[in-house]
Amino acid sequence: MDNNLIYSGKAKDLFKTENENELLVVYKDQATAFNGKRKEIIPGKGVLNCRISTLVFDYLIDNGIETHVIQNISDHEQLIKKTEVIPLEVVLRNRVSGSFAKKFDLIDGETLEEPVIEFYFKSDKLGDPFINDSQVLSLHIATQSEIDFVKQQTLKINKLLIPFFSKANLDLIDFKLEFGRIDDKIILVDEFSPDNCRLWDQTSHNSLDKDIFRQQKGDLVDTYEKVLERIIAE
Ligand code: UDP
């Protein structure tokens, strides 16, 4: 094993670099679902996620959102700023789907009056349980002002991304973000790809995201290629 490898995730590996403030992310061709219970190698997936995430992050950066990306090294590798990652998955929902539909017995696709924000505690061992603000504070995962900032940024990112995807004839149903601390600031980390959001074609309402893999209803690479082509064409 490469002794620079510091973390091997489900979709990405993280490596040390010569600069202690920078890390190398390598997007992998692996797809997982149901907390890693289903795992498959899908050639081409790593490059597609890296390219899609790069376009989305570049757009967010151009619109004033600070992120951890420094530069791309290849079509599936990025140099990023090392941050102290806050162990929360921040989910925003514009429409009912996935676990929210199941939990509250609601119809998939129903529009929510206001976007809903949820936190999940990042822990493979515990299966990323839902966590509320009071629990986040009690466990010293983040302070109240950090919680407020993260929610505010997530809403801002949503407002930027809805028209971004709409131009590509895609509805942004929900997504997951992660944040990290660096120099007394909190910045956007991780990635934004169809692995961690739901995108529905505005005309057919078909999924163009990881639900294709979760529900085995199509070809993941073909689907992610469509997303990339559409956002490049903007
Ligand atoms: N999500 C993610 N990683 C996770 C769980 C969820 O990126 O570990 C994303 C998922 O792709 C969707 C959103 O967060 O866009 C909301 O997911 P949901 O809670 O509905 O869970 P799921 O249906 O994936 O079980």
Listed residues 81, 111, 128: the one ending a domain: 81
Residues with CB under 6 A from ligand 1: 89, 91, 97-100, 128, 174-176, 196-198, 210
pTM of the full predicted structure? 0.97
pLDDT classification of 1: cutoffs 50, 70, 90: low
**Same domain membership, residue 91 and residue 74:** no
Q: Six-digit token pair at 104? A: 């509250």
In terms of domains, do 65 and 111 share one? no
Residue ending a domain, choose from 81, 105, 140: 81
Determine, yes or no, domain membership for 225.
no
25 within some domain:
yes
**Cα–ligand 1 centroid distance for 175 (angstroms):** 7
Domain with 61, as residue range(s), is 5-81
Convert the pLDDT of each residue in 164-204 to its tens digit. Answer: 999 999 999 999 999 999 999 999 999 999 999 999 999 99
Residue-wise pLDDT for 12-70, tens only, equals: 999 999 999 999 999 999 999 988 889 999 999 999 999 999 999 999 999 999 999 99
Question: Rounded to the nearest whole angstrom, what is the distance from the C-alpha of residue 230 to the centroid of ligand 1?
Answer: 23
Q: Cα angle vertex 186, ends 100, 148, to 5°?
A: 55
Structural domains in the chain (count): 2
For residue 105, give the 3-state DSSP assignment.
Answer: coil
